[in-house]
Structure 1
Amino acid sequence: MIDFYYWPTPNGWKVAIMLEECGLDYRVIPVNIGRGEQFKPEFLAISPNNRMPAIVDHDMDGEPLPIFESGAILMHLAEKTGRFMPTDPRGRKEIREWLFWQVGNLGPMAGQVSHFVNYASGEHPYAAERYNNEYNRCLGVLERRLEEREYLVGDDYSIADMAAWPWVLIAKPLGQNLEEFPNVRRWRQDVKERPAVQAGVDLGKEYRRQAPPDEEERKILFSQNSRTGHDS
């Protein structure tokens, strides 16, 4: 059994998709970021960066194994199940490259665009343009990568695709038109049609935000620093 600490965001979706793809037994433990539940000591003991997703794998020799950071979780689950990761050295090298590219480039850039679109629209035009351009650049990187291959690492669907796909799923709400990226558009649709992907994105949809955050939620979400980013 895997405890899955989750809130419906693109980072959460990619782990939800992997759990569904592998058919693993898991239970969802929602962590409401608008209420500050990510700063509770019991969650910080699992995820020191107070971010979702995180898991605790109870199907281990010895003590249960806590893991935070979505990329690390995906690699753990791939190694655990022997699925969605190549076994040859070159393939594993490419998986690591594209997984780290997502967590270091595509995800952070899209996340910053999302902030300015959803929470600070029109307030900081330079910053909004900067991150929009970077997100667009990342989509261009994907477009070139997918020119001669079905998925990010050859012709096999992998954790690299699961990691990147949620951040492309939300391209339209972020103001990015995929018409200039036909390979990305094809890949996005192919992955979207997988039943496990649909189940992963639907997981916890009842928790999705229905209204803009109030002032207290904004303080919890956006005003944390090294002194305030913990349970008080």
Structure 2
Amino acid sequence: MGTEVDGKDEVIKATRQRIKEGADLIKIMATGGVLTKGNHPGAVHFNVDELKCICQEAAKASLTTAAHAIGLNGVKNAIKAGVNTIEHGYYLDKETVDTMRDLGIYLTPTLLAPTLLQKNSEHIPQHMIDKIEEIEKEHRKSFRLALERGVKIIAGTDAGTPFNNPGQLVEELKIMLEEGMTTAQAIESATYLGAKCLKVDSLIGSLEEQKLADLIVVKGNPLEDIRNLKNIQHVFKGGVRLYPDQIH
């Protein structure tokens, strides 16, 4: 899925290759990460000119761009380059979140991923734990700042990281509520705003005429208790009920 590249010519070629292969979104590793040994999360991986080339090539194909960005300098570079979403955003400041708000750049905070690492620290390599302990104290602070300043926030779990299996989106929403989101905002972040960010809101993300009837029916009111979203009674895809009859 990924390609190591250096310089503007290489990033252009790699982006075009991903598009040729059928990618419907281009993700950029704008900074280092937590999982890779010897890789500092705040390290900047591309300069602004390289990032701009990637975003421009994606835009030509009407694709969105997502930047994995933990450190503040990497976040700022990605914003200057024109990305559509910032993934993680552990380090944010007022100027940065105000710019994201004004430009309509989305934030996917993935609050669950570091929480699961910390909860399962006895099973996690020490180099991951060391990095999480260094940066996590800023993570929720940055989320609260983005929420307060009106940045559009969408729900994602960063599934695939240790102990972070698919199906835990409600756990992400619960953390968002703990950090100040309203229940309605959290649900919207996982439905309409996510669809709008990915430019598929004309088809999915809300219950409206002429849209695909992709929806779940749950027992209980999720506005009263977000955990009711896990009490799934029926799943509809394109108006056809798939659960409990066809999903096992």
TM-score (norm 1): 0.30
- Determine which structure has the larger helix proportion and give its number: 1
- Determine which structure has the larger strand proportion and give its number: 2
Larger RCO: 1 or 2 (CA < 8 Å, sep 6+): 1
Structure with bigger gyration radius: 2
